[in-house]
Amino acid sequence: MSDIGSAFAEAAHLIAAADTTLYGIVLLSLEVSLTAVVAATVIGLPLGAALAIRRFPGRAVLLVTLNALMGLPPVVVGLLVYLLLSRAGPLGELGLLFTPAAMVIAQAILVTPIIAGLSRQVLEDAWHEYEEQLRSLGATAPMAAATLIWDTRYSLVTVVLAGFGRAAAEVGAVMIVGGNIDGVTRVMTTAISLETSKGDLPLALGLGIVLVAVVFLVNAAAQLIKSAAVRRYG
């Protein structure tokens, strides 16, 4: 038990002392996951809006596929991106394997279905309410999509943050395509995994505390934004 106690104490010390190793890892984590979420949002939101508004043959199959992809195992995504980017792979020439860029790609693939799937639900509910009015006013599909996204923006913040939570917390994909190289591709989750197996519990625990705190803060912010918006706009 004293091990755990002293590990917590040392972890707190590392965080308080602004340990450069620890903060370097935290910063890279945020950089990779935020970039991946931005990319996933740029792709996922219009995709979700199109699925919400358009009716076309094969839509049901696409929705089932999208929902299934929301539960994509990170290690499988990591493996696929690894195969794409490895020297013998189709994109091997780019030399991206074991770089932060590869980690961004893997996490974006992981998060895009989540953002597209969850935003589709939000936007489709709004579309049911707005459809006749928007069509009556002569809105084209792209205009209607833009209106729906704007009008549900506070709910969509929650959607995007759910994607961020998924990206920041996953370890399988970044481990495979990043390689957990010290100072280059080592992020919070891979570092926790490594330090735990090495027995450096204080660093692992310190990182764990920061990771949980980040996820906690992000969700608290989402909640605040949403309740403020409901009070303001009804």
Partner 1 sequence: MLPLTLEDVSFAAGGRTIIDRVSCEFTPGPRTVILGPNGAGKSVLMRLCHGLLTPTAGRIAWRGSRDERRPRAQAMVFQRPVMLRRAALGNVTYGLKLAGVPRTERDRRAREVLDAVGLSAIASRPARVLSGGEQQKLALARAWALTPEVLFLDEPTANLDPGATREVERIVDQIHASGTKIVMTTHNLAQARRLADEILFISAGRVADHAPVERFFAQPSTTEAAAFIKGELPWS
Note the residues at the interface with partner 1 (CB under 8 A): 129-130, 132-133, 135-139, 143, 147, 150-152, 232-234
State which residue, 55 or 232, has the beta carbon closest to partner 1.
Answer: 232
CB 127 to partner 1: min, Å: 11
State which residue, 56 or 150, has the beta carbon closest to partner 1.
Answer: 150
DSSP 70-136: TT--HHHHHHHHHHHHSTTSTTGGG--TTSHHHHHHHHHHHHHHHHHHHHHHHHHHHHHHHHHHHHH
As given in the structure block, the two tokens for residue 84 are 């794409």
Q: Rounded to the nearest 5°, which phi and psi values hold at 198?
A: -80, -20
CB 231 to partner 1: min, Å: 9
CB 50 to partner 1: min, Å: 19
State which residue, 49 or 110, has the beta carbon closest to partner 1.
Answer: 49
State which residue, 68 or 137, has the beta carbon closest to partner 1.
Answer: 137
Closest CA to 166 of 26, 85, 72, 64: 72
CB 60 to partner 1: min, Å: 19
Helix axes 20-53, 188-198, angle to 10 degrees: 130
Four-CA torsion 27, 33, 35, 41, nearest 10 degrees: -150
State which residue, 64 or 137, has the beta carbon closest to partner 1.
Answer: 137
CB 61 to partner 1: min, Å: 23
Burial class (CB in 10 A: 0-12, 13-18, 19+), 185: buried
State which residue, 77 or 145, has the beta carbon closest to partner 1.
Answer: 145
CB 155 to partner 1: min, Å: 10
Closest CA to 46 of 139, 141, 163, 110: 141
CB 117 to partner 1: min, Å: 23
The owner of tokens 């104490």 is 9
* Largest Cα span, the chain: 70
